[in-house]
Chains A and B, each alone.
Chain A
Amino acid sequence: MMKVTEPPKPLFQLRQLIYDTKYRSLTVQAIAMCLLVLFFSWLVNNTIQNLTALGKDFDFGFLTNIAGYDINQRLIEYSSTSTHGRAALVGILNTLLVAVLGCALATMIGIVAGVLRLSKNWIIARLMTIYVEGFRNVPLLLWILIIFAVMTESTPGPRDFRAGGSASMMLFDSVAISNRGVYIPFPVWGEGSGILIFVFLLSLISVWIFKRIAASRQQQTGIILPTFWISTGIVIISSIMTFFVLGQPVSLDYPTLGGFNFRGGLQLRNSLIALWLALSLYTGAFIAEIVRSGILSVSKGQTEAAYALGLRPNRTMNLVILPQALRVIIPPLISQYLNLTKNSSLAIAVGYMDVRSTLGGITINQTGRELEGMLMLGLFYLLASLVISAVMNIYNNSVKLKGR
């Protein structure tokens, strides 16, 4: 019989927590964690203490109180007798409106400027360089204020549009550019316009089917159909024919001068236009650089190979270069969209009633609920940013290189 004796276990000593590399990182992490928890609990405690010292409580009940102020641009029904919660919602929708419009325009400007900056034409390429460097190196707030000042100072007032005045409407008296904003005709949906929309959607579906057929035909026979002209034809001809068959159900409401201002039509306020253009031009400059880097990341061999196969330059760009460049472009593009959305909170500078101006401005001021208002504001921007990231990530997954 043999007796197996276990080797004596070394006793754990406290100093090992610091000197033994096995434990040291654990110790440091534990200390850091404790301090962090301490810090946050102090922060919360301090807030509660100061709130009680001021005699204030933490309560979101103010959201159901009457707001009492008016908002000029509202996408949903709102009056001064609505609640603060509704005022916040009006602001949220205004923020989303300028964010969506801004992202769309910034993308268009960015792609065009980015591609043109690589142009072989010296003047065009230099002009785009000036645009990019000019816009991304001057603070956004200045661009917003500059565009707003130009819109209000250099355009005529509504009074100048009266008979004998110095200004006149454009495009057959349908568009008025004034210092209160741009007034454009607005469609009025009459009886039967539902059918028109249905036919329009139907034509879009048929175009989609046609494109699939054309694509499979090209796969099999190599014959390319002029899909662009045929699909445009399908949509326009079917829509116009239905429009007249139904007896013109959709009419346009033109802006007319009445009283102090224009009435009727759609008013795009100067604050919206200034904010929208400034955000788009500023972010567009960054997107142009992203697009340029994306295109340059596709090796020259790809272009040469496409040319060798006989593809024309624009097809090379659309079918070979851009799809590969997209993989490089999309991730930084997401952060530009997030920036644009958050930068829209500069709206207050020109009096655009976004969520920062309604909930984070007037409501906080009238109710004295700074903490609650700012928390809600922060939460909204966080949610909006996360949703934009999620959507763009889904798109990114669809274009990225699939591992086979």
Chain B
Amino acid sequence: MKKLFLSCLSVALLGGIAMAGGHEKGTLAAVKERGKLVCGSNTGLVGFAAPDASGNWQGFDVDMCRAVAAAVLGDPSAVEYVPLTTGTRFTALASGEVDMLSRNTTWTFSRDVDLKFEFTGVNYYDGQGFMVPKSLGVTSATELDGATVCIQTGTTTELNLADFFRVNGMNYEPVPVETNSEAQQQYLANACDVYTTDASGLAATRASFENPGDHVVLPEIISKEPLGPLVRHGDHEWGDVVRWSLNAMVAAEEYGVTSQNVAEMAKGTNNPEINRLLGSEGNLGEMLGLSPDWARNIISTVGNYGESFERNIGSSTPIGLARGLNAQWTDGGLLYSPPFR
């Protein structure tokens, strides 16, 4: 009897798994069929990805997901957000649990080449900084010898930190934490003297403190952290969709297309580049496997890059980040979209 049961069980198992493992389509087709984009996001970083009071995800990285959903499905709210920690994000993307990852992730050689991901651009040029309480009287990161440092595990910042202290001949005590909120709690409980992560993350974290003025971000930026969305290696159609969704937002800002005037401009302008972007000229959307008004959907619902930046993390928000490196190339920044041609 037991043997019979066992054999039935194995048959059931086999059948079940064979059925579950039958997807070999491209991600673009899968997303269209599903009618929903599954986007890996942060577990909570104000300004970049955090649920608002009514439970809707908001933020700069979230806008990237919304832009892709708007381009592919015409609806920016057709996104299912999967909050991922630094430790789980890559496994979730590699295993196909999420379609794309938009979670302030640094573009590095080994992640691109060895981990088999494809970074589809940079939506925020960042660098690693340190935050300390003002009362500590520290003015430079080189004075941190012997400090206890809170650090999110599984990040590039963890490796930069080790390098920085080793090169400068200093000691430190790492306190590994899983998420930003955990780091915040430890830091505020004074269980660590210093919190280090990307400077944008520090600004966002500091903005959510009760007394942001009691904490300073030290002037040293110890690394380059180009943050951007990424997809699985090998699915180039899907990679193109995500890449050009980002480029569309950047180009729209460059050409002065905003969510306010996009409807007007879509009727046709005397700038052929804008016309091609918004679909009134040429067939760029078709080449991507999308509708002709894909970029128009992004800009009318999510806005251009500058609008998304100002709304979520810009100088008018509590986070108050200046554009800096993330200004358009015409304004002395690094943002430079390849031509829509």
A32 CB-CB contact with B under 8 Å: yes
A370 CB-CB contact with B under 8 Å: yes
B11 CB-CB contact with A under 8 Å: yes
B26 CB-CB contact with A under 8 Å: no
Instruction: Knowing A56-B116, A68-B162, A69-B159 are in contact, say whether A365-B90 is a contact too (CB < 8 A).
Output: yes
A260 CB-CB contact with B under 8 Å: yes
B148 CB-CB contact with A under 8 Å: yes
Chain A proximity of B132: nearest CB distance (Å): 10
Tell whether, in the assembled complex, residue A361 and residue B87 are in contact, meaning their CB atoms are under 8 Å apart: yes
Question: Which of A34-42, A205-213, A314-322 forms contacts with chain B?
Answer: A34-42
Q: Chain B residues with Cβ under 8 A from A31's Cβ?
A: 7
Q: Chain B residues with Cβ under 8 A from A46's Cβ?
A: 21
Question: Which of B184-192, B216-224, B259-267, B321-329 forms contacts with chain A?
Answer: B184-192
Question: Which of B49-57, B167-175, B239-247, B289-297 forms contacts with chain A?
Answer: B167-175
A129 CB-CB contact with B under 8 Å: no
Q: Which listed residue (B7, B148, B153) contacts A260, Cβ 8 A?
A: B148
Instruction: Knowing A258-B146, A351-B175 are in contact, say whether A270-B114 is a contact too (CB < 8 A).
Output: no
Q: Which listed residue (A39, A180, A348) contacts B13, Cβ 8 A?
A: A39
A283 CB-CB contact with B under 8 Å: no
Tell whether, in the assembled complex, residue A71 and residue B154 are in contact, meaning their CB atoms are under 8 Å apart: no
For B, the interface residue count at a CB cutoff of 8 angstroms equals: 50
A54 to B114, CA, bound (A): 11
Q: Which listed residue (A25, A53, A81, A367) contacts B166, Cβ 8 A?
A: A81
A326-357 CB contact bits vs B (8 Å, 1 = yes)? 00000000000000000000001101010001
A55-79 CB contact bits vs B (8 Å, 1 = yes)? 1100000000000111110000001
Q: Which listed residue (B3, B116, B144) contacts A32, Cβ 8 A?
A: B3
Q: Which listed residue (A28, A32, A55, A157) contacts B233, Cβ 8 A?
A: A55
B86 CB-CB contact with A under 8 Å: yes
Q: Which residue of A lies closest to B176 (CB)?
A: A351
For A, the interface residue count at a CB cutoff of 8 angstroms equals: 47
Tell whether, in the assembled complex, residue B190 and residue A260 are in contact, meaning their CB atoms are under 8 Å apart: no
Tell whether, in the assembled complex, residue B3 and residue A25 are in contact, meaning their CB atoms are under 8 Å apart: yes
A259 to B177, CA, bound (A): 23
Tell whether, in the assembled complex, residue B10 and residue A32 are in contact, meaning their CB atoms are under 8 Å apart: yes
Tell whether, in the assembled complex, residue B175 and residue A72 are in contact, meaning their CB atoms are under 8 Å apart: yes
Q: Chain B residues with Cβ under 8 A from A157's Cβ?
A: 190-191
A72 to B162, CA, bound (A): 12
Tell whether, in the assembled complex, residue B166 and residue A368 are in contact, meaning their CB atoms are under 8 Å apart: no
Q: Chain A residues with Cβ under 8 A from B110's Cβ?
A: 366
B286 CB-CB contact with A under 8 Å: no
B101-122 CB contact bits vs A (8 Å, 1 = yes)? 0000000001000111000000
A25 to B4, CA, bound (A): 9
B214 CB-CB contact with A under 8 Å: no
A153 to B7, CA, bound (A): 55
Tell whether, in the assembled complex, residue A179 and residue B166 are in contact, meaning their CB atoms are under 8 Å apart: no
Tell whether, in the assembled complex, residue B176 and residue A357 are in contact, meaning their CB atoms are under 8 Å apart: yes
A31 to B7, CA, bound (A): 7
Chain B proximity of A31: nearest CB distance (Å): 5
B158 CB-CB contact with A under 8 Å: yes
Q: Which residue of B lies closest to A368 (CB)?
A: B115
Chain A proximity of B139: nearest CB distance (Å): 15
* 13 A-B interface contacts by CB (under 8 A): A28-B3, A35-B11, A38-B14, A69-B162, A69-B174, A72-B175, A80-B166, A152-B189, A261-B146, A270-B191, A361-B153, A365-B87, A367-B114
